[in-house]
Amino acid sequence: MTSAAISVPMPSIPRKRRTREEVEAAAPVAAPKKVLLAAPRGYCAGVDRAVIAVEKALEHYGPPVYVRKQIVHNVHVVTSLEEKGAIFVEENDEVPEGALVIFSAHGVSPAVVQSAEDRGLRTIDATCPLVTKVHREAVRFAKDDYDILLIGHEGHEEVEGTAGEAPEHIQIVNGPHEVDQVTVRDPNKVIWLSQTTLSVDETMETVRLLRQKFPTLQDPPSDDICYATTNRQVAIKKVAPQADLVIVVGSANSSNSVRLVEVALEYGAKRSERVDYANQVDEAWFEGVATVGVTSGASVPEVLVQDVLRLLADYGYGDVQEVVTAEEDLLFSLPKELRATLKAAGDSSRALGGRGNRPLS
Query: Facing residues of 246 across strands?
Result: 272, 293
Q: Output the 3-class SS for 85-134.
A: CEEEECCHHHCCCCCEEEECCCCCCHHHHHHHHHCCCEEEECCCHHHHHH
Crossing angle for the helix pair 336-344 and 45-61, to the nearest 10 degrees: 50
Distance CA 262, CA 201 (A): 11
Contact, 51 vs 79, CB < 8 A?
Answer: no
Distance CA 169, CA 280 (A): 43
Catalytic residue set? 158
Distance CA 81, CA 102 (A): 13
Q: Are strands 352-354 and 331-333 parallel, antiparallel or unpaired?
A: antiparallel
Q: Are strands 34-39 and 320-324 parallel, antiparallel or unpaired?
A: parallel
Distance CA 172, CA 131 (A): 16
**Which amino acid is residue 111, in one-letter code?**
A
Select from 94, 89, 49 the least CA-distant residue to 68.
89
Sheet holding 320-324, edge to edge: 272-275, 245-249, 291-296, 34-39, 320-324
Distance CA 281, CA 285 (A): 8
